[in-house]
Every structure is written in C-alpha cells, then in structure tokens.
C-alpha cells in the first residue's frame, strides 16, 4: 500500500485582490489634503456633508435593477435572506434613496456633498481599479438651470483650489434634450416609447462619446457600417443612412468659439423638435448665468460632444477636462482628459416616491485628479516625517515619551523610536526611511548637563554627499548640543526651514 502523501499547509498569498490597491501614509495624506480643499469650496457654496452606507439594497441602485437570478452585472452583489445587497457603485443613487427616505426632514432644495469609495464589478486594467474614490455635490429639489450653472462654477473653483491653473482645464456642457432632439429628427428617439431604436441609439451615443479619442473619421465609421481598430478588432456601427449621418456630423460640428454661436448652430438643427428646443433654452440659461458671474468660454464651454455614460441623466450634462499634455507609459504625448462629470437626473428620486423630483450634481474622480496634480510637479515632493527621539537608555523610555508629549503639545510631530535600540545606526536608518528632519539624542551625559543633542538629518545628508574627508565631517554643522529648556524653540526654527 503506497504511503499517503502528506498535504502541506498552503500559506495564503500576500497579494492585493485583482483590481484593488493599497494606499500608504503619504498617499492618504495628500488625498485628504486635496479633499479638504474641495470640501472648503463646497462649504463656501452652502452645501452640507452627508455620509451614506457603503451597502445598498440592489433595487435601490436603479441602474442595476435585478432582472436575472444574480444581479451582479457591474456591481458586487450578494443575497441575504430574501433580498439582494450590493456595494454602492456611485454616490448619486444612495443620495436618491436618502432623499426619498428622509425628505420630510430635509430642506428643499437639499444641497449636499459626499466623499468616499465606490465599487464597480468591472474588468480591471492599467490605471482602472474596482474601488476608487469619488467626491460629489448635488442639489435635489430645484428645476432651475441656475442650479446646473452653479455646478459648473463650483467645479471650476474646486479645480483651481486644488492647484489646477486656469487655462489648464475646461468645463464642457451639453444637454441630453438637445441630443434627443437631433435623434428625434433622424427617427431614433420617441419620448413615449424609449425602447424603440434603443440599441441603435446606444451605438450612436457611444460613438459620439469617442470623438476626442477617435476623431471625426473614426466616429463617422462607427455611425456607419463599423470600424476596425489598430488591433484588428471590428466594432459594428449604427448603420445610419447618409441623411441621418449628415445631421449627426453637423451636430458634432456645431461647436463655435462663443457659446452664443454654438447655441445658434444647435438651434437650427433641432428646429421642430419640442424636446430639442427645450434643451436649447436650458443651455441658454446656463450660459447666461455662468457668463454673468465672470466664467467665460475659457472655463465653461458648450460642447455637443459631451454625452456622459450613465443612463439616468435627463437634461444638462457636464464634463471637466484637463487640457495639458502628459507623457504616457509608451513615451507618447497625450491630453490628460476628463477628471469630473455630472448632470441633471430628474427621474432618479421618482423611482422611490412616484413623484418627479428635480436634481442635478457633479462628481470629481479623486484618483484621476490626484494623478493629474502629481503629473504637474517638476519633481516628486516627499512629505516631511516626524522628529525622531532616539533611545539611548532603555530604562528611560517613559522620559523619552514625556519629551514626545511635550513636543506634540507644541505642535511638533514626533515619535520615540520603538524598535531595538541596541544598534544606534538602525535608529538613524529608521529616521531616514521616515524622512525625518531631525533626530534628538539625550544620553546619560546630556541628561546630567541639562542638554540634548539635535541632528539636522536633511543638512547632514546633503553634507555627507558633498564631503570627501573625515576632517570635513568633523567640522560639519549638522548637529549641535543645546540646553534642554531651549529644545522647542530650536526645533521650530529648524523645521520651518524645511516646510514644503
């Protein structure tokens, strides 16, 4: 009888699940700093914070209503007793649920902002994650186009507050009603039968949305028979007739140097379409409002190519695009592209209440905006670490902790070395890894004299790279002994030199 092979205990792999990532200290602090700047803009506009649950009932999400046994297309969903739950895929659908649930207690209009992670059950790829942060602001309960115009103003102010220079972004605005008016003129839209021509209409919308990437020629192929890309993959087109194709191309070419001229061009195309004409009136009001506040076409521009992908938009839609170039992983220059978007969604709350509740909002892609800000830096700035209090005597750990408490109360970030203090070199290596500006040394000799030794680690590193002899090192000024009672003042002076 053969011996049974012993089954080895398999150790789990220490790896991040596909499509997810970990965030470390400086990344989190940089993100929080950026969100704080955006939050201050939202607060200045009178918006109130809201936090919603990360988990929602699937039937509350709207876009992903269960129509099969497992409603998990696009979301992470699971069954619990007789209901399905899912991680939220955005911050807007939960807002609709919150407003419907608490509308009797909330002011109308209700102006809120929300920041946090969302999850999409989609195929991950380079730079495309299944969990990412969003930063939203919405007004629920106002049908006035000034509410939509305000979203454009607030988005512009938010981008500039984070460090995006004026001239490096443009907020593009369109209206689904205008687009529906054009589609109505070519026989692809009927307001009383939205399912009619829905598939062909979807192909047209997706083709328009690719104008920036594929150009007019590529979009024309997708509106016609179809298109083969560089890899050889073929995408079926919308098979529009020549007359249908002509009107769509005129629509895409309607953008002019002024919003007024663009509106004239669009108005000509939708004449006779009630929904299209209403869309033009909406855009006129938005343009008048933004320009009256001093936000001209250099910041807010009407652009017919803006479509937005989510199906719940019912009117004006907007997208913030960064206009500067970056070098991609292949070494090629390309425009950075979109970092935010939004629009009007008057039917989302209606699903809960049965009554139409107007709403508009916008969402900033936090990770995208962070990547944009990082790409604009000439060199990566490493965040300053804490002051490190070294341990020269293990029996005096409480004394060292008391020193750290004293520094913190004075507003100086500090910590006591918690590793094995036997090797002093390891303590300095630790300080180097933490990018600490200063190390404090208080041994027995210093204690007896009422002194401490402070090492300017930034200056020491600079001098060490420049020195060639031991004599030069001995005379270097990167460390000095001071009176213990003067420690706070000396540290404040040193740290202020290295503030980013």
The domain spans of the chain are 25-52+88-186+240-375, 387-497
**Cβ atoms 240, 204 nearer than 8 A:** yes
Residue with tokens 């950075």: 336
More confident of the two residues 303 and 203: 303
Residue 477 in this model has a pLDDT that exceeds 80: no
Q: Are 453 and 479 in contact (CB under 8 A)?
A: yes
For residue 379, the model assigns a pLDDT of 41
Mean pLDDT of 401-416: 94
| CATH number attached to the domain at 387-497 | 3.40.50.800
pLDDT at residue number 242: 83
| pLDDT of amino acid 74 | 81
Mean pLDDT of 375-392: 76
Q: Is the pLDDT of residue 348 over 70?
A: yes
DSSP assigned state of 8: P
Average pLDDT over residues 267-286: 94
pLDDT, tens digit, for every residue of 1-57? 455 555 556 888 899 888 888 988 888 888 999 999 999 999 999 999 999 999 999
Q: Is the pLDDT of residue 68 over 70?
A: no
Asked if pLDDT for residue 449 goes beyond 60, the answer is: yes
- Per-residue DSSP letter, 230: T
From 142-146, 260-264, 324-328, 340-344, the region with the lowest mean pLDDT:
324-328
Q: How far apart are CA 349 and CA 142, in angstroms?
A: 13
* pLDDT band at residue 465 using 50, 70 and 90 as cut-offs: low
Closest CA to 408 of 488, 483, 479, 497: 488
Between CA 64 and CA 212 the distance in angstroms is: 28
Q: Is residue 254's pLDDT more than 50?
A: yes
In this predicted structure, the answer to whether residue 327 has a pLDDT above a threshold of 80 is no
Mean pLDDT, range 303-332, rounded to an integer: 81
Position 236 confidence tier, pLDDT thresholds 50, 70, 90:
confident
pLDDT value of residue 9:
67
Residue 65: what pLDDT?
A: 44
What pLDDT was estimated at residue 131?
92
Give the residue with greater pLDDT, 70 vs 313.
313
What's the whole-number mean pLDDT along residues 459-482? 69
The pLDDT assigned to 171 comes to: 97
Mean pLDDT throughout 293-313?
Answer: 86
- Residue of higher predicted confidence among 157 and 309: 157
> CA-CA distance, 169 to 145, in Å (whole number)?
22
- Averaged pLDDT for residues 129-149: 94
Pick the more confident residue, 124 or 424. 424
More confident residue, 279 or 231: 279
Query: What's the mean per-residue pLDDT of the chain?
Result: 86
**For 25-52+88-186+240-375, which CATH class?**
alpha beta
Using CA atoms, how far residue 226 sits from 220, 222, 229, 234, 252, in Å, is 9, 5, 10, 7, 18
Q: Is the peptide bond before 109 cis (omega within 30 degrees of 0)?
A: yes
Q: Where are the beta strands (DSSP E) in 328-450?
A: 333-344, 359-365, 387-389, 414-416, 438-441
**Binning pLDDT at 50, 70 and 90, where does residue 67 land?**
very low
For the CA atoms of 118, 124, 125, 129, the dihedral, rounded to the nearest 10 degrees, stands at 20
Looking at residue 97, its pLDDT comes to 93
- Per-residue pLDDT for 241 more than 90? no
Better-predicted residue by pLDDT, 236 or 285: 285
Closest listed residue to residue 442, CA positions, set 391, 493, 491: 391
Instruction: Please report the pLDDT score of residue 328 as a whole number.
Output: 63
Q: 94-103, 174-183, 296-305, 369-378 — which is least confidently predicted? A: 369-378
Residue 380 pLDDT > 60, yes or no?
no
Q: What is the pLDDT of residue 66?
A: 42
Mean pLDDT of 238-245: 81
Cα–Cα dist 43/53, whole Å: 22
Q: What pLDDT is attached to residue 219?
A: 76
What does the pLDDT look like over 161-170, one tens digit per residue? 999 999 999 9
Mean pLDDT to the nearest integer, 125-145: 89
Q: What is the C-alpha separation between 103 and 248, in angstroms, rounded?
A: 41
Distance, CA of 50 to CA of 112 (rounded, Å): 6
Q: Which of 19-33, 181-195, 291-305, 368-382 has the lowest mean pLDDT?
A: 368-382
- Of 93-107, 235-249, 310-324, 416-430, which gets the smallest average pLDDT? 235-249
pLDDT at residue 196, rounded to an integer: 78
pLDDT tier at 121 (50, 70, 90 boundaries)? confident
């Amino acid at each position: 009888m053969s011996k049974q092979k012993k089954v080895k205990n398999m150790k789990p792999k220490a790896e991040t699940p596909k499509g997810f990532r970990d965030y470390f200290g400086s990344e989190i602090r940089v993100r929080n700093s950026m969100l704080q700047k955006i939050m201050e803009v939202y607060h200045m506009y009178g918006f109130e914070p809201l936090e919603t649950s990360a988990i929602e009932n699937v039937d509350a999400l709207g876009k992903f209503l269960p129509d099969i046994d497992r409603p998990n297309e696009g979301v992470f969903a699971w069954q619990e007793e007789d209901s399905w739950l899912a991680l939220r895929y955005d911050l807007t659908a939960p807002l609709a649920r919150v407003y419907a649930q608490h509308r009797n207690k909330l002011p109308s209009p209700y102006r809120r902002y929300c920041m946090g992670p969302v999850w999409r059950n989609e195929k991950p790829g380079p730079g495309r994650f299944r969990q990412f942060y969003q930063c939203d602001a919405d007004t629920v309960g106002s049908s006035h186009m000034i509410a939509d115009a305000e979203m454009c103003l607030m988005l512009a102010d938010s981008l500039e507050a984070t460090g995006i220079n004026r001239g490096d972004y443009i907020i593009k605005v369109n209206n689904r009603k205008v687009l529906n008016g054009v589609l109505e003129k070519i026989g692809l839209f009927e307001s009383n039968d939205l399912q009619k021509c829905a598939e062909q209409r979807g192909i047209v919308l997706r083709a328009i949305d690719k104008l920036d990437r594929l150009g007019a020629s590529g979009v024309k192929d997708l509106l016609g028979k179809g298109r083969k890309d560089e890899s050889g993959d073929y995408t079926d087109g919308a098979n529009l007739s020549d007359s249908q194709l002509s009107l769509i191309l005129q629509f895409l070419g309607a953008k002019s140097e002024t919003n007024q001229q663009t509106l004239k061009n669009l108005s000509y195309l939708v004449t006779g379409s009630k929904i299209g004409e209403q869309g033009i009136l909406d855009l006129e009001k938005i343009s008048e409002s933004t320009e009256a506040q001093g936000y001209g076409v250099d910041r807010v521009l009407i652009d017919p190519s803006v479509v937005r992908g989510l199906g719940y938009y019912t009117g004006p839609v907007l997208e913030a695009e960064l206009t500067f170039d970056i070098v991609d992983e292949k070494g090629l220059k390309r425009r950075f592209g979109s970092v935010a978007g939004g629009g009007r969604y008057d039917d989302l709350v209606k699903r809960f209440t049965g009554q139409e509740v107007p709403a508009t909002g916008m969402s900033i892609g936090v990770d995208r905006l962070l990547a944009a800000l990082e790409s604009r830096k000439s060199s990566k700035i490493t965040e300053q670490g804490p002051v490190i209090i070294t341990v020269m005597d293990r029996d005096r750990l409480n004394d060292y902790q008391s020193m750290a408490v004293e520094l913190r109360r004075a507003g100086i970030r500090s910590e006591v070395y918690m590793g094995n203090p036997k090797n002093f070199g390891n303590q300095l290596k630790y300080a180097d890894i933490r990018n600490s500006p200063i190390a404090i040394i208080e041994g027995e000799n210093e204690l007896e004299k009422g002194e401490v030794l402070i090492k300017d680690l930034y200056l020491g590193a600079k001098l060490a790279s420049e020195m060639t002899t031991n004599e030069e090192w001995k005379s270097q000024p990167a460390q000095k002994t001071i009176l213990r009672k003067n420690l706070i003042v000396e540290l404040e002076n040193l740290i202020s030199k290295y503030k980013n």
